[in-house]
Amino acid sequence: MALPGGVSSTRRIGFAYNPTKEDAVELSERAAGWCARRGIESWAVAAGDTPVLLAALPAVDILVVLGGDGTFLRAARAVAETRVAMVGVNLGKVGFLSKAEAHELEDLLEKIDDGRYHIEERMALRGSIRGENGNAPPRSFIALNDVVIARGALARVVHLDVEIGPSHLATYVADGLIVASPTGSTGYSFSAGGPILDPVSRNLIVTPIAAYLSALGSVVVNPNQVVRCRIVEALEALVSVDGHEDFPVTVGD
């Protein structure tokens, strides 16, 4: 939320960046220099180093992500566990999730320092993978964009039994299934035929990928519902979280 009168309460800013990109490293150094001149404490951490980010985030007022959408999504996994606000500075090709470009960095930091900003609440997804027999502990994760259950490298469809809350939705023979947030509605779900939602709305979008002989397309679901997808038949399958973390799964999971 914007602070009244433009009064700043910013005392410490964190920066998450892509260490594999030279321009992101240079931008993090530029940002650190700006903060030092303003007397604002700062630190910079690789966006994918979730444990370090989680440990450092409680002490900052805001996290600035330097990179493309992939870098933003990696940092979001840590931010989702906190109440820290985050904003992206784009260094990638598109930057749908960013609010500024690299040449606008100092202007963005000036606005943060002056309190000239507002906070948008975005819905995230919490998922878990459970084995058929329940012997192994579930693997849990958080996604900002989407969770995809899909076939692996083999070009063979998977059979997926999908439930929404207490109701059976469909048994798909398809390349996979996407469960997206409103933020992720412009991504993979949209390319598979799903609708675009206002990013600050609260809904789940369930979209099959290339479903065979299915008249049922994308479904928009109340956020309080639980979407369950059981793998009925597959030679190879995986769960992909925000397109950056993959978990192999088997029949019955």
Residues noted as catalytic = 69
166's CB contacts (< 8 A; 6+ apart) are none
Calpha distance 22→10 (Å, rounded): 28
Kindly give the pairing relationship between strand 237-241 and strand 100-101: unpaired
Q: Are 42 and 32 in contact (CB under 8 A)?
A: yes
Are the C-beta atoms of residues 236 and 246 closer than 8 Å to each other? Answer: no
Q: Which two tokens stand for residue 134?
A: 């329940």
Strand order across the beta sheet in which 41-46 lies: 41-46, 12-17, 62-67, 85-90, 100-101
Rounded distance between C-alpha atoms, residue 202 and residue 160, angstroms: 25
CA–CA dist 156, 177 (Å, integer): 14
- In eight-state DSSP terms, residue 196 is P
